[in-house]
Amino acid sequence: MSFRREKYVPKGGPDGGDGGRGGDVVFFVRENVKTLSHLKMQQRFFAQNGRPGAGRQKGGPRGDDVVIEVPPGTAVFDAESDEQLLDLTEIGERAVLYQGGRGGKGNTHFKSSRHQTPRFAQPGEDGVEKNLRVELQIIADLGFVGLPNAGKSTLLKVLTAANPKIGNYPFTTVIPNLGVMHHYEHDIVLADIPGLIAGASNGAGLGIQFLKHIARTRGLVYVLDVADEDLDASWDTLSGELAAYSRELVRKQHIVLLTKMDLVDSGDVPRAAVDDFIRDHPVVTVDHDDPDAVPPPGSLLGVIPVSAMTGTGLAEARDVMANLANAPVGDHVI
């Protein structure tokens, strides 16, 4: 996209008024705008030039603003420097990205006792022309994180109406999937991102570039495969990579789903590994009826054994996930 604003250069007569200001470039967050697809149709936006000043010291009217409507979750970047310019999350938010250029000064300003008939006026400021990149960052309530092949997409499929690709190989998911989980009167948006591997925070694998998609979630759902050789090692890899990526992710409340429990029930995987994990990872209990009971940031609020295949534990998982999505976010400092 490209924005262009121009300034009128007034050529007032001897009693010339000032030129009007150029219009502003404004982003406006509108609730019923859901995507950025309209920006694919129109890629260039112009705020209007200020209008010329006129004789008899009449000032020119201001140029019209250009207002670009975007959904909540829109981030605006300078396409050249990659600097983030706007982070638009609130419905109704109105952000002036560039102010219209100042109007020219009519020649009446240059009258003086020695210069009774000034034959010059000051030109208005030139407008700016910028290339911007506009990105919609998903605002899900909860984000799944897990190693590749852990079963994240399968859980999204059974918990929501989403139909993500599922495969018995790593990196089946290459772009994030979203699904809506209905839980009583609440709709909870879940984000499934590609699997993370050790070194992801330094660029290994696929997942880390998608962590920004879960950066705004209210909570994280770690998905661990009970068939993993060492559940603790899987946990350490995931939490280590998230910590290396950003402190903010570590401060999120989270739960663990120990998935593929059907493999334990069938005897293919020893139950002891699951019991040990639950024993070694105590959860913080929260009194949901007490509004002041806010657990500290980064609390583990549940460890639930589940199976997407048989449905074991999914009812409890839904309840715990709903609590996580609606949990108050504390402002403790750690």
Ligand X SMILES: Nc1nc2c(ncn2[C@@H]2O[C@H](COP(=O)(O)OP(=O)(O)OP(=O)(O)O)[C@@H](O)[C@H]2O)c(=O)[nH]1
Judged by CB under 6 A, the chain residues 180 through 199 that form the site for ligand X are 194-195
Report residue 225 as tokens.
């495969």
Q: Which is nearer to ligand X, 217 or 307 (CB)?
A: 307
Q: Identify the CA nearest to 222 among candidates 248, 206, 200, 241.
A: 241
Choose the one of Mg ion, ligand X, none that binds residue 220, judging by a C-beta under 5 to 8 angstroms depending on kind: none
**Which of 99, 122, 172, 239 touches ligand X by CB under 6 A?**
172
Residue 75's beta-bridge partner residues? 87, 135
Report residue 222 as tokens.
């770690």
Q: Which is nearer to ligand X, 9 or 309 (CB)?
A: 309
| CB of 194 closer than 8 Å to CB of 173 | yes
Cα of 311 vs its chain's centroid, Å: 32
Q: Using CB under 5 A, list all residues that contact Mg ion.
A: 153, 172-173
CA–CA distance, 218 with 179 (Å, rounded to integer): 15
- The answer for residues whose C-beta is within 8 angstroms of residue 323's C-beta and 6 or more apart is 286, 288, 301, 302
- Rg of the chain on CA atoms, in Å: 28
**Which of 151, 176, 219, 302 touches ligand X by CB under 6 A?**
151
Angle between helices 231-245 and 271-280 (to 10 degrees): 40
Q: Which is nearer to ligand X, 29 or 264 (CB)?
A: 264
Judged by CB under 6 A, the chain residues 120 through 149 that form the site for ligand X are 146, 148-149
**Which of 308, 314, 317, 327 touches ligand X by CB under 6 A?**
308
Choose the one of Mg ion, ligand X, none that binds residue 249, judging by a C-beta under 5 to 8 angstroms depending on kind: none
Determine the number of helices (DSSP H) and then strands (DSSP E) in the chain: 8, 14
Q: Which is nearer to Mg ion, 173 or 312 (CB)?
A: 173
**Closest CB 152 distance from ligand X, rounded Å:** 4
User: Does residue 150 interact with ligand X by CB under 6 A?
Assistant: yes
Choose the one of ligand X, Mg ion, none that binds residue 171, judging by a C-beta under 5 to 8 angstroms depending on kind: ligand X
User: Does residue 74 interact with ligand X by CB under 6 A?
Assistant: no
